[in-house]
A and B are shown apart, each in its own frame.
Chain A
Amino acid sequence: MSRDASRETVIALVGNPNTGKTSLFNALTGSKQHVGNWPGVTVEKKEGFIQHKDRKIRLVDLPGTYGLRAKSEDEKIAKNYLLDAESDVVLCVCDSTNIERNLYLLLQLREMGKNTVLALNMADEAEKKGIKIDVDLINESFGVTAIKTVATRKQGTKELLQASLLAESQKNEDFAISYGEVIDEALSDITKIIPKTNLRSNLRYLALRLLEGDSDIEKLVDEKTLTLTAKLREKIEKLYDDDISSLVAEARYKYLSSIIQKAIRRTNTEVSWSDKLDRIFTHKKLGIPIFLLIMFLVFQLTNTLSAPLVEWIENGFAYLSEITNTALTNVGIDGVWSSLISDGIIAGVGSVLTFLPQIALLFLGISILEDTGYMARVTYLMDKIMQSMGLSGKAFIPMILGFGCNVTAVMASRTLETKEDRILSILANPFISCSARLPVYVLFTGAFFPKHQGLVLFLIYLLGIIMAIFTSWLFKKILFKGKSSPLVMELPPYRLPSFKNTWNQVAGRVQTFLTKAGTVILGASVIIWALATLPSGVEYASEASLLGRIGSLIAPLFSLAGFGTWQAAAALSFGVLAKEVVVTSLAVLFSTSEAGLPAILPMHFTSASALSFMVMSLLYMPCAATLGAIKRETGSRKWMILSMVYSLVIGLVLSVLVYQVAIRLGW
């Protein structure tokens, strides 16, 4: 089959998780890569373009999957793509050190009738482990072309591209394995009457999926086919006293082991260093202490290394704001427009950019821990504890990250497997007190509780943790009742992280943060600036400004909590932009400097209302950047709004409660 050279070839990249698929994707697309992200609800699917000689190739990276039966979200994306979209060649990436389970996926691809090229990745590791693979036998058994690759070192990538382009132009051999006489016969009966669909698959594979009861495919066929499959299914399941899915899986593994016995030779059976490491990292007594130590180091490093960077950014923006102001005045632009640019845009965007060093460094740490395979062990270690709160072990890392910044925490929730777990983690996370809220507590505890500063701080943090746990427990109860996601998860062998991979991950996350969260912040800054400036002629951020009026309007809401002044209300509104802005805006609103605040605050707050104001600052609403992240990660405005409303209610209720109890205690 010859193809028009100008037409692009579509290659879909499929494989088990942890097979180096992403590395291979990056190695293949190289420097010319253009990575586009689909904001999929759950998992992303990446696309890249390659120019190979005179051929244009579009490479689609599908989420890692173990099978194609589509019970989980990521498998659904992979399966639906393979069945619905046009791919010329499927590139199946396989971990050469663990070939058995990896070939299980290849088998299904071939059954589907996909023109497949097999990348035997991590060939170097396999060699080191003394694993010898008979490539010719694999090729012959599956009707594929297998190429040994080392994606991290770009070995074998050219051969892989050539093999893929060759495979495209060659006739695809039919492939089928036997499931025993009864099932085979049933499959051929179904194949005879199955109606034509648009699905890109062999009829026999579709028949098999129907027999297994795949509801997606059942929707596409007629009554007659359904009746027949149901009848055959019942007959077979009764006959073997087992369900079809098990029978199919067993037959496949049986077929695979017959090939593997001949094609794979292991010459080295000593305990690998990976197993030795696991004896330490997942040790019954030392496992958790070691984990805490590692987390502490990551935090410490993040904070120490980011502190000077944050300062530079802050100073940079202050300077930028100043010179812009001067420059604008010099060219005759002042008043409203210069205020918009310096007070609104530069100050607003600047306050968010100060998060950048922390985000980049935290994700650097996380991506290294992820690449080495340690993250899977953390999940393993913490699962029991997290389960008692209604969360999966995988939600632990986002929880810890929350103390640094809720934005990173919400973003890290994407590592969770099911949508339910992700949403629970995302809704609970904003209550974990992030570092941006610390300035508020420092200010108030310093002014009102100088003797018990540490204790009050600790209690505030504790309240945040309790509310996060309560929230995940509550939403688990009302939203996802009874839904528990399994934790059947691979613990991959430890590997050294590759610099390139780590860099790509960090850069990708930083970029997302900058573009998307940046636009939210920019918009919010302009709106808040406008509210503080309008109607024209009023003093910036005074009671007469729209912001002041809004503050006055909502202030009564807070009167039961003891801080019903328009300034407090306006400061909290400002605080949505970024939590530390509460402090700066209080200074503006009370017409003083930040240094002068401790002296002025007691005129507007009592000890009791200071306490309730801190509680409110902790709980009342995720900041704009976090809200942006929630919307992006959940893929819907709905959860963002729910998070806003829910935390506002929780904040109000608890701050009123704290205030009322405190005044009754005579504070």
Chain B
Amino acid sequence: MVLSLSASLQDYLESILDLRESGGKVRVTDLAQKLGLTKASVSQALTQLADKGLIKQEPYGPIELTKAGEFQAKKVRANHDLLFSFLVDVLGVEVQTANADACAIEHAVSDETMDKLAIFLDSYKKGEQKMEPDQTLTLADLKVGQSGLIYKLIAPSDLKQKLLDMGLIKGATVLLQGKAPLGDPLEVVVQGTKLSIRNNEAIYVLIK
């Protein structure tokens, strides 16, 4: 648990981490925009975080997490994900409610509870493995004549758009009808249409 930090400061750390991961340098403006707050209040909170040695910021420079800050931020996020997964997967709470509740609980929960929760979820999911999709199976792994349900698309955005428009969406049935003479590309049937797709595009289509 992050005893020494208020809930809102934890949110700041988490947001800085998010922004950094979604692309490069984090500035006060970005942070204010993301959290929906004024720049003034963001600056104030940043001073507090800097005092605690969780972030570094040169005047007018980008905001950087220190090692300690990054640790705290990741921890908050891990807590959130665990709680969210527990609420949705185990209790069957609605996604929106689960998200809001996880946000509220993540700041106030002890390390011990979180550790126990992680162990519980792990064994719970193993027991339920048949329900969980095998994420390593892709469209490219199907055998000719075999079909499967599309579980997720992990393609880069341009290709993903194209695949979606062609009807390769979550929940759709896709049949591998054949392979070209050299094993590539593949001939698949989805939404009643025959498509040709290369192996290195098919690996982005995860199959149940």
Contact surface of A with B, Cβ cutoff 8 Å: 66-67, 69, 71-72, 98, 100-101, 104, 181-182, 227, 230-231, 234, 238-240, 242-243, 245-246, 249-250, 253, 278, 282-285, 287-288, 376, 379-381, 383-385, 387, 393, 486-493
Interface centre among A246, A380, A387 (most CB of B within 10 A): A380
**Which chain A positions have C-beta within 8 A of B153?**
246
Cβ of B99 to closest chain A Cβ, rounded Å = 5
Q: How far is the CA of A380 from the CA of B187 in the complex (A)?
A: 8
A230 touches B185 (CB 8 A): no
B185 touches A376 (CB 8 A): no
Cβ of A70 to closest chain B Cβ, rounded Å = 9
Given contacts A238-B99, A245-B157, contact A66 B197 (CB under 8 A): no
A284 touches B179 (CB 8 A): yes
Stretch from B58-66, B128-136, B163-171 forming part of the interface with A? B163-171
Picked from B99, B182, B192, B194, the residue with its CB within 8 Å of the CB of A100 is B192
A384 touches B165 (CB 8 A): no
* The 4 nearest A-B residue pairs measured at CB: A67-B165, A249-B164, A384-B182, A491-B194
**Which chain A positions have C-beta within 8 A of B163?**
488
Picked from B162, B179, B182, the residue with its CB within 8 Å of the CB of A72 is B162
Which bucket holds chain B's interface residue count? 35 or more
Picked from A230, A242, A488, the residue with its CB within 8 Å of the CB of B166 is A488
Q: Mark B133-174, 1 if CB is under 8 A from A, else 0.
A: 000000000000000000011000111111111110111100
**Which chain B positions have C-beta within 8 A of A383?**
180, 184-185, 196, 198
Q: How far is the CA of A492 from the CA of B157 in the complex (A)?
A: 25
Picked from B167, B179, B183, the residue with its CB within 8 Å of the CB of A104 is B167
**Which chain A positions have C-beta within 8 A of B171?**
250
A239 touches B180 (CB 8 A): no
Cβ of A230 to closest chain B Cβ, rounded Å = 7
**Which chain B positions have C-beta within 8 A of A72?**
162
B23 is an interface residue with CB less than 8 A from chain A: no
Cβ of A465 to closest chain B Cβ, rounded Å = 19
Q: How far is the CA of A231 from the CA of B34 in the complex (A)?
A: 6
Picked from A101, A250, A283, the residue with its CB within 8 Å of the CB of B193 is A101
Given contacts A69-B165, A249-B164, contact A287 B180 (CB under 8 A): yes
**Could you list 7 examples of A-B contacts with CB < 8 Å?**
A101-B193, A245-B160, A250-B170, A283-B181, A387-B198, A486-B158, A490-B196
B36 is an interface residue with CB less than 8 A from chain A: yes
Q: How far is the CA of A463 from the CA of B176 in the complex (A)?
A: 40
B68 is an interface residue with CB less than 8 A from chain A: no
**Which chain A positions have C-beta within 8 A of B158?**
71, 486
B96 is an interface residue with CB less than 8 A from chain A: yes
Picked from B160, B167, B182, B196, the residue with its CB within 8 Å of the CB of A487 is B196
B201 is an interface residue with CB less than 8 A from chain A: yes
B33 is an interface residue with CB less than 8 A from chain A: yes
B191 is an interface residue with CB less than 8 A from chain A: yes
Q: How far is the CA of A617 from the CA of B178 in the complex (A)?
A: 44
**Which chain A positions have C-beta within 8 A of B195?**
488-491
B170 touches A282 (CB 8 A): no
Q: How far is the CA of A243 from the CA of B178 in the complex (A)?
A: 31
Cβ of B153 to closest chain A Cβ, rounded Å = 6
Given contacts A486-B198, A488-B201, contact A239 B95 (CB under 8 A): yes
Cβ of B87 to closest chain A Cβ, rounded Å = 13
A101 touches B33 (CB 8 A): no
Q: How far is the CA of A71 from the CA of B156 in the complex (A)?
A: 12
Picked from B95, B185, B194, the residue with its CB within 8 Å of the CB of A490 is B194
Known: A384-B182, A487-B197. 9 other contacts (CB 8 A): A101-B192, A246-B170, A249-B169, A250-B171, A487-B196, A487-B198, A488-B166, A490-B166, A491-B187
Which A-chain residue is minimally distant from B22 (CB atoms)? Answer: A234
A98 touches B193 (CB 8 A): yes
Picked from B34, B169, B180, the residue with its CB within 8 Å of the CB of A246 is B169
Which residues of B in the span 188-208 have a Cβ within 8 Å of any Cβ on A? Answer: 191-198, 201
A284 touches B181 (CB 8 A): yes
A98 touches B192 (CB 8 A): yes
**Which chain B positions have C-beta within 8 A of A234?**
34
**Which chain A positions have C-beta within 8 A of B179?**
284
**Which chain A positions have C-beta within 8 A of B33?**
227, 230-231
Given contacts A100-B192, A486-B159, A486-B201, contact A384 B167 (CB under 8 A): no
Given contacts A67-B165, A69-B161, A71-B162, contact A489 B196 (CB under 8 A): yes
A384 touches B201 (CB 8 A): no
**Which chain A positions have C-beta within 8 A of B152?**
242
Which A-chain residue is minimally distant from B158 (CB atoms)? Answer: A71
A282 touches B184 (CB 8 A): no
A182 touches B96 (CB 8 A): yes
**Which chain B positions have C-beta within 8 A of A231?**
33-34, 36
**Which chain A positions have C-beta within 8 A of B178?**
278, 282, 284
B172 touches A253 (CB 8 A): yes
Picked from A230, A242, A243, A285, the residue with its CB within 8 Å of the CB of B181 is A285
**Which chain B positions have C-beta within 8 A of A230?**
33
B187 touches A282 (CB 8 A): yes
Q: How far is the CA of A487 from the CA of B179 in the complex (A)?
A: 14
B182 touches A239 (CB 8 A): no
**Which chain A positions have C-beta within 8 A of B180?**
282, 287, 380-381, 383-384
Cβ of B53 to closest chain A Cβ, rounded Å = 28
Picked from A71, A238, A384, the residue with its CB within 8 Å of the CB of B184 is A384
Q: How far is the CA of A331 from the CA of B159 in the complex (A)?
A: 69
Q: How far is the CA of A282 from the CA of B160 in the complex (A)?
A: 27
Cβ of B58 to closest chain A Cβ, rounded Å = 26
Given contacts A227-B33, A282-B180, contact A376 B164 (CB under 8 A): no
Q: How far is the CA of A67 from the CA of B192 in the complex (A)?
A: 17
A67 touches B161 (CB 8 A): yes
Which A-chain residue is minimally distant from B202 (CB atoms)? Answer: A488
Cβ of A44 to closest chain B Cβ, rounded Å = 21
